[in-house]
Structure 1
Amino acid sequence: MSAADTIIVADRVHTLDPAGTRAEGVAAAVAVKDGLIVAVGGAAEVTAQWRGAATEVQHLPGATLAPGLTDGHMHPVFGAGSFRGVDLSGCRTVADLRAALAAAVAGTGRGEWISGFGLDHNTFQGAPITNAVIDEVLDGIPALLVLYDGHSALASSAALRAVGIEGPRTFASRSQIVCGPDGRPTGHLLEDGAIRLVRDLMPVADLQERRAQVLDLLHSMAATGLTGGHVMDCEGDALELIAGIEELPLRLRIAPWAMPGDIDAQIDHLLALRGTGGPRWSVDAVKFFIDGTVEGGTAWLETADCHGRSTDSFWHDPAHYTRAVQRLDAAGMQAVTHAIGDAGVRHALDALDPSIGPGGPAGPGAPSVRHRIEHIETLPYDQIKRFAHLDVAASMQPTHTAYTRADHSDDWSTRLGAERAGRAWCCRDLRDTGATLVLGSDWPIAHFDPRQVLATAQLRRLPGTDSRPVGPEQALTALMALEGMTTHAAHATGQGHHAGRIAPGHRADLTAFGLDPLTAPPDELAEAPIRLTMVDGVTTHRG
């Protein structure tokens, strides 16, 4: 038996390995060799069998070792490029917004742009989102302010003039340039097709600078215990950017977008791209949008919201989406679908239901692949039960509940009405029906810190706050939450045989907490020190 490269000794090890029940609860050491776990057990036992002259022994007194945490939904490249400039997340009123922009104007030269991010729809307190409230303070400087959902933005009049937007336009998707009764644009842009018109004109940093920004971001993520992420975009030169990073601190699984318009050609290209990758990154899935967001009025609901909106798919003809998903299924490539409204989720499930349509998605002998649906913000119980039945993974972001209020006075809840708002983020129902439930942040929509995700999943409020929980009956147990970023994240990608657990033969992706994530109060877990983060047996953070 050859010696291990590294032995990690902690107070306890949570293996999350059903086959390792003997080790669970008594294990305190893990041996790693060539990037894989080779032994799990007591400290004396593992050290005696696997320590050699060159073995590094890392002692972590007081720590709990767990499988490496994976963020099930993130946008590190897209977010670093698009959510930049002025942080508007603290604005609560239009006066706050104007003050923040006035400060930005003071440091902006003529010919430059102002960009902002994180703007809450609730800032407008139910009034229309319009550049009329910002143009004066901007004093002719073009600006693009991305709202927190990432699916809508507010462009100043100067920005619209720079792009040549003077009225409505037609898009392949259900994107929209919102116009007033006079037919003039209000500056409110809905969905990627409309936002991109302005964004593509804005100056961007060169590739090397953006690569450095993304690498710095990934190191910050590793410091919070993350070892991997499911990346839900791949726009522009994103692959070139990632491929140029010599050693990624996180393992990235990438799902490029497939959008309405010339969809067959897109699927051909994405199938050819499958398997593209390098050390710690790969292209393995395709991301679709079946709808947008509740706050933007672009979610797909069974019945309209309070403004009479949100009754349409992102696709003018949803059948094109269905055929594209079924092509991927037949080819054995995973489809990942953004679906927020109840009608959107139902249609995404229908597309994968072999009892619906001509023979179901996959023909006889077709490769088996587990598909997934993202966000799932409001859903009746009869649709929740279908996830386990169809073996479709649910991917949800517990920290998004922070954009709602328990009394339903926020914009999201008001649009939906009390009944649908009462079905907000039904995480526990999904787990209790046997579904695979992946947890993530959707960074930059919410903070990437996985400790916040784990804590909020249990609290149904942000840790460290005294706000009332949103749907407390949907709280997860500590174990369910941890599984959502470990075993279930691996299972959802078909990698459960070598990832998501601490077991011999599995990848040595590990996270060490300064306390026990299964017994600590969630508010304390959110502040817990991260003692060690390891990917492929390489330490990416040591606290």
Structure 2
Amino acid sequence: MTTADLVFHNGVVHPIDPALSATDALAVRDDRIVALGDDAVALKGAHTELIDLAGGALLPGFQDAHIHAVAGGLQRLGCNLEDVHSLDDYRSLIAAHAQQHPDDEWLAGAGWYGDVFEGGYPHRKELDQIAPGRAMVIVSHDAHGAWASSEALRRAGINRHTPDPDGGRIVRDAAGEPTGMLIESAADLVTEFLPEPDEAQLTAALLEAQRYLHGLGITAWQDAAVGAALAIPDTFETYRTAAATGRLTARVTGALWWDRVAGMDQVDFLRERRAAACTGNFRATAVKIMQDGVCENLTAAVFQAYQGHEHEHGLSFIEPDELATIVRRLDAERFDLHLHAVGDRAVHECLDATASRDGAAGGPAAWDPRHQIAHIDLIRRDDVMRMRELGVIANLQPLWAREDRVLVETKLPYLSEDQQGRHFAFRSLHGAGVRIALGSDWPVSSPDPLWGIHTAVNRTAPAGDPHAHDDHAQHVPLLASESIDLATALHGYTQGAAYANRLDDCTGTLRPGSLADLVLLDQDPYAVPSAQLGSLKVRATLVGGQVVHDAM
């Protein structure tokens, strides 16, 4: 009898497979799971490595269904405001970065939160005081806005006479002067002047992101914008080279960026990219389409006008008829669609477009698409059932579904009582039978799946999150009736995300024959109070039976 290379024991093994019960051991040979329970123990041999779970838990490796990994890596290697949440801390980090780079023509960073600033928006004068005369641009944590210094505005030619670009807004003071806050596409007016990182820097960012994500138990992800987009450089060749050289240990699905200016002329290019992304752990089987913005800056497309702004209904970046044409074409080309829709009108438009495709009702042209709508901050109740009927995946970011200061101060004031009652409707979607895949949108918010699971279950913030240290965020739930149970949350970060990532044939569950992509936790999530889920720790992460993170 052939023995196992690894046997995990002395803990609980959660297969996350409805056909399999929790057990107490798991065996690995080469890169595959070969047995569970007593059958696994029976495969111990003289050269088998025994791994003691020490009363903890073994689960399928976590997967993130919506992330911007290289952008997150670049942020970690640059002026990174991600881990702090106060104006004083921002000032200190920005000042230190400016001092460390005295000769840089442009200074760049990312990660600020609007609630830190009076009125929700930063001002150029703050940067001017920190680093006088320097051209500086700091992108917001959600990448939907940029904070620019006066010198950055001058170099970009932005003044009181500069018109708002299509799909964006230059925030101005009472005298009409730009404040330094640039919303959506207006940020491009400045970020286009930033020096692009070279391939070596992009590779370093990818490897830093991968190291960090493996440390959180993440073994696979879907990069939600592979292409020149959202002030993120094109990372296609970065991924492809890392995969070809074996440096990409994570399994990555690329969602190729849809340039709405290029239109249908780019379809051949996207096809060529998909064909070229067949090396190692990288595939590009999806296309990412942005349909709207975010509620915080009134660019998410909504049916009911924003509270206090009776003429503001947000922006549909693509006209609905054109969106339907795009969806039909990409579906016919057998691309999975990854549609960004925050507001309920944008969600409705994406569903209409998906319903228009050939085979949407299971006709002869039907195939096995993994079309998904990402974010879904708001959804009309009748569209919940439409999602199930159309087989569209709800790609959700659970860490947003809590009453932290960002939401309470910069978003909820714009939403009516009815809109607030349909906010991050996780349980409604799950209860209607909609497939759920969970992700982070990092670096918009933390990629920690355990923090995401905590918030999905409790609808409150985990204690360790620097962006929600207040008692309200940690103890007052956001629509507790829309929470999901632990099993559903775990499924969303494993089997559900694997399905969205088109990796479900070999990952997402612990069953014999599956790839040995594993995460070891210090405690069994089913054995701790729900309020402590965010405090669980990752002890080790394995991809294909190889350790990629070890904290044991």
Correspondence for 2:268 = 268
Alignment of 1:499 with 2:504, yes or no, is no
Change (3 A) 1:535 1:307: same
What pairs with 1:226-265 in structure 2 (closer than 5 Å)?
Answer: 226-235=218-227, 236-245=233-242, 246-265=246-265
Correspondence for 2:298 = 297
Per-residue Cα deviation, 1:179-213 (whole angstroms, up to 9, x for no partner)? 5576653322222x432332232235442233223
* Cα distance in structure 1, aligned partners of 2:104 and 2:274: 42
Q: How far does residue 99 in structure 1 lie from its aligned partner after superposition?
A: 6.5
Correspondence for 1:476 = 484
What pairs with 1:311-460 in structure 2 (closer than 5 Å)?
Answer: 311-315=313-317, 317-354=319-356, 364-402=364-402, 404=404, 409-460=408-459
More off after superposition, 325-334 vs 179-188: 179-188
* Cα distance in structure 2, aligned partners of 1:343 and 1:64: 42
Correspondence for 1:47 = 41
* Cα distance in structure 1, aligned partners of 2:364 and 2:172: 49
Alignment of 1:211 with 2:203, yes or no, is yes
What pairs with 1:39-78 in structure 2 (closer than 5 Å)?
Answer: 39-42=35-38, 45-48=39-42, 50-78=43-71
- Is the partner of 2:119 in helix, strand or coil? coil
Correspondence for 2:167 = 174
Change (3 A) 1:119 1:321: same
Partner amino acid for 1:226? Answer: I
Correspondence for 1:17 = 17
Q: How far does residue 34 in structure 1 lie from its aligned partner after superposition?
A: 3.3
- Is the partner of 2:153 in helix, strand or coil? helix
* Cα distance in structure 1, aligned partners of 2:298 and 2:70: 26
Q: How far does residue 479 in structure 1 lie from its aligned partner after superposition?
A: 0.8
Alignment of 1:122 with 2:115, yes or no, is yes
Correspondence for 1:146 = 139
* Cα distance in structure 1, aligned partners of 2:155 and 2:441: 31
Per-residue Cα deviation, 1:467-511 (whole angstroms, up to 9, x for no partner)? 222111111111111011011112234443322111112221111
- Is the partner of 2:484 in helix, strand or coil? coil
Q: Is 1:68–1:509's contact at 8 Å kept on the other side of the alignment?
A: yes
Change (3 A) 1:309 1:109: farther
Q: How far does residue 309 in structure 1 lie from its aligned partner after superposition?
A: 5.9
Partner amino acid for 1:248? Answer: L
Partner amino acid for 1:261? Answer: V
More off after superposition, 277-286 vs 175-184: 175-184
Partner amino acid for 2:240? Answer: A
Correspondence for 1:532 = 540
What pairs with 1:269-288 in structure 2 (closer than 5 Å)?
Answer: 269-275=269-275, 276-288=277-289
Q: How far does residue 330 in structure 1 lie from its aligned partner after superposition?
A: 1.8
- Is the partner of 1:311 in helix, strand or coil? coil
Change (3 A) 1:237 1:259: closer
Q: How far does residue 393 in structure 1 lie from its aligned partner after superposition?
A: 0.4
Change (3 A) 1:38 1:298: same
Q: Is 1:404–1:470's contact at 8 Å kept on the other side of the alignment?
A: no
In structure 2, stretches of 5+ residues that fail to align are: 228-232, 464-468
* Cα distance in structure 2, aligned partners of 1:359 and 1:533: 40
- Is the partner of 2:525 in helix, strand or coil? coil
Q: Is 2:144–2:183's contact at 8 Å kept on the other side of the alignment?
A: yes
Q: Is 1:330–1:367's contact at 8 Å kept on the other side of the alignment?
A: no
* Cα distance in structure 2, aligned partners of 1:512 and 1:267: 42
* Cα distance in structure 1, aligned partners of 2:168 and 2:241: 33
Per-residue Cα deviation, 1:347-390 (whole angstroms, up to 9, x for no partner)? 11111125xx8986997324331200001112232222222121
Change (3 A) 1:480 1:129: same
Per-residue Cα deviation, 1:10-38 (whole angstroms, up to 9, x for no partner)? 41111122232xxx13x222222232222
Select which of 146, 162, 168 maps to 2:155. 162
Q: Is 2:34–2:40's contact at 8 Å kept on the other side of the alignment?
A: no
Select which of 203, 223, 236 maps to 2:215. 223
- Is the partner of 1:126 in helix, strand or coil? helix
Identity of paired residues, percent?
Answer: 31
- Is the partner of 1:61 in helix, strand or coil? coil
* Cα distance in structure 1, aligned partners of 2:89 and 2:516: 47
Q: Is 1:438–1:488's contact at 8 Å kept on the other side of the alignment?
A: yes
Partner amino acid for 2:375? Answer: H
Partner amino acid for 1:239? Answer: F
Q: Is 1:37–1:505's contact at 8 Å kept on the other side of the alignment?
A: yes
* Cα distance in structure 2, aligned partners of 1:190 and 1:361: 39
Per-residue Cα deviation, 1:132-156 (whole angstroms, up to 9, x for no partner)? 4543444221111212221111212
Q: Is 1:374–1:395's contact at 8 Å kept on the other side of the alignment?
A: yes
* Cα distance in structure 2, aligned partners of 1:265 and 1:116: 33
Change (3 A) 1:107 1:272: closer
Correspondence for 1:541 = 549
Q: Is 1:330–1:362's contact at 8 Å kept on the other side of the alignment?
A: no
Q: How far does residue 107 in structure 1 lie from its aligned partner after superposition?
A: 4.9
* Cα distance in structure 1, aligned partners of 2:545 and 2:280: 13
* Cα distance in structure 2, aligned partners of 1:274 and 1:361: 26
Partner amino acid for 1:198? Answer: V
Per-residue Cα deviation, 1:226-264 (whole angstroms, up to 9, x for no partner)? 111111111344122223333323211111210311210
* Cα distance in structure 2, aligned partners of 1:358 and 1:214: 37
TM-score, reference length from structure 1? 0.89
Q: Is 1:78–1:233's contact at 8 Å kept on the other side of the alignment?
A: no
Change (3 A) 1:493 1:409: closer
Q: Is 1:31–1:37's contact at 8 Å kept on the other side of the alignment?
A: yes
Partner amino acid for 1:389? Answer: E
Count of aligned residue pairs for this structure pair: 530
Q: How far does residue 540 in structure 1 lie from its aligned partner after superposition?
A: 1.2
Q: Is 1:72–1:489's contact at 8 Å kept on the other side of the alignment?
A: yes
In structure 1, stretches of 5+ residues that fail to align are: none
Change (3 A) 1:359 1:188: same
Change (3 A) 1:30 1:363: same
- Is the partner of 1:255 in helix, strand or coil? strand
- Is the partner of 1:518 in helix, strand or coil? helix
Q: Is 1:401–1:460's contact at 8 Å kept on the other side of the alignment?
A: yes
* Cα distance in structure 2, aligned partners of 1:88 and 1:503: 37
More off after superposition, 101-110 vs 207-216: 101-110
Change (3 A) 1:217 1:514: same
Change (3 A) 1:111 1:281: closer
* Cα distance in structure 2, aligned partners of 1:359 and 1:68: 33
Change (3 A) 1:337 1:114: same
More off after superposition, 225-234 vs 380-389: 380-389
Q: How far does residue 128 in structure 1 lie from its aligned partner after superposition?
A: 5.9
Q: How far does residue 60 in structure 1 lie from its aligned partner after superposition?
A: 2.1
Change (3 A) 1:362 1:143: farther
* Cα distance in structure 2, aligned partners of 1:157 and 1:541: 44
Partner amino acid for 2:57? Answer: T
Change (3 A) 1:300 1:361: farther
